[in-house]
């Protein structure tokens, strides 16, 4: 029996309505994005967002609680803490644990980010690739690989910590990093995503693919590829580009919202 073709116009109208419903500040409080929303300085938003995205697996209430705990050890400014902390300031972090992310991982994250921010003003530059040397259809892939290699450039980094920072080179869908980039890059009038990074275009983002997004996307036939890996995330994003070439990842709101509320 032939598979019915997708009516792209009907699907766009349906998902645009869902984006309008879920891309609202009311949803911030119960989402990990609430963590960087506690800050106003660009560098603090970046750092808090990166930790929040990294820890974003499990129950959302637990994620938010653990993020607050970890960032609480850094005081009112994570950026200032990274630049000026002492060894004694790190002692409370030796007790931190969230699922498989433990103190060893947290301390290396602080070490790597500290080295980075002592040289660079913004984390954005770690993800910005040289477009003259990259001809990929999805150039963000090069940026993610570049970031991973840079993040683990400190001598004697813990091998175990690499599992907490995904890379397309390991064929990961890079859900948490893509979510973090959505927060930093996308900008609209709704006030959910921050849009504080300008060197990466929303059109270049790749859709974050968690279990809710994947389930809904498969039901809507936006994904055909078996399994969830980097190529699957690219397939989904390519189809979302058919709905909005300039801002395909706005549909993350729709797919996640439909999934988390079991509306499809």
Tens of pLDDT, residue by residue over 67-107, are: 999 999 999 999 999 999 999 999 999 999 999 999 999 99
From CA 33, how far away is CA 45, in angstroms rounded? 10
Cβ proximity of 23 and 192 under 8 Å = yes
> Which residues lie across from 97 on neighbouring strands?
102
Q: Per-residue confidence at 5, pLDDT binned at 50, 70, 90? A: confident
Q: Count other C-beta atoms under 10 Å from residue 169's C-beta.
A: 12
Q: Count other C-beta atoms under 10 Å from residue 216's C-beta.
A: 24
Is position 190 within any domain? yes
Is position 1 within any domain? no
From CA 210, how far away is CA 173, in angstroms rounded? 9
Please give the tally of structural domains in the chain. Answer: 1
From CA 258, how far away is CA 88, in angstroms rounded? 46
The SS3 call for residue 234 is: helix
pTM above 0.85, yes or no: yes
Cβ proximity of 186 and 247 under 8 Å = yes
pLDDT (tens digit, 9 = 90+) per residue, 198-235? 999 999 999 999 999 999 999 999 999 999 999 999 99
Q: Which domain holds residue 210?
A: 8-260
The SS3 call for residue 74 is: coil
The pair of three-digit structure tokens given for residue 100, joined into one six-digit string: 């498989």
Buried b (16+ CB within 10 A) or exposed e, 130-157: eeeeeeeebebbbbbbbbbebbbeeeee
Is position 3 within any domain? no
From CA 84, how far away is CA 2, in angstroms rounded? 63
Nearest to 206 by CA among 184, 227, 175, 183: 175
Is position 210 within any domain? yes
């Amino acid at each position: 029996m032939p598979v019915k073709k997708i009516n792209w116009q009907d699907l766009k109208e349906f998902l645009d309505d869902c984006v309008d419903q879920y891309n609202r500040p009311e949803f911030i409080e119960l989402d990990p994005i609430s963590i960087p929303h506690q800050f106003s300085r660009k560098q603090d938003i970046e750092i808090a967002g990166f930790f929040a995205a990294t820890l974003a697996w499990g129950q959302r209430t637990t994620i938010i609680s653990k993020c607050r705990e970890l960032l609480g050890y850094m005081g009112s400014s994570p950026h200032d803490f990274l630049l000026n902390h002492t060894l004694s300031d790190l002692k409370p972090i030796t007790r931190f644990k969230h699922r498989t992310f433990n103190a060893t991982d947290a301390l290396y994250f602080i070490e790597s980010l500290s080295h980075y921010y002592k040289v660079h003003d913004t984390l954005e530059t770690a993800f910005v690739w040289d477009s003259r040397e990259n001809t990929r259809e999805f150039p963000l892939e090069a940026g993610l690989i570049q970031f991973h290699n840079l993040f683990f450039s400190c001598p004697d980094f813990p091998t175990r910590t690499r599992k907490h920072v995904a890379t397309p080179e390991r064929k990961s869908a890079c859900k948490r990093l893509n979510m973090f980039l959505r927060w930093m890059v996308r900008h609209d009038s709704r006030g959910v995503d921050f849009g504080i990074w300008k060197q990466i275009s929303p059109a270049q983002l790749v859709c974050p693919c968690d279990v809710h997004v994947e389930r809904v996307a498969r039901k809507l036939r936006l994904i055909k590829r078996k399994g969830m890996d980097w190529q699957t995330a690219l397939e989904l994003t390519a189809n979302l580009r058919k709905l909005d070439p300039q801002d395909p990842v706005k549909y993350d709101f729709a797919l996640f919202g439909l999934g988390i509320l079991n509306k499809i």
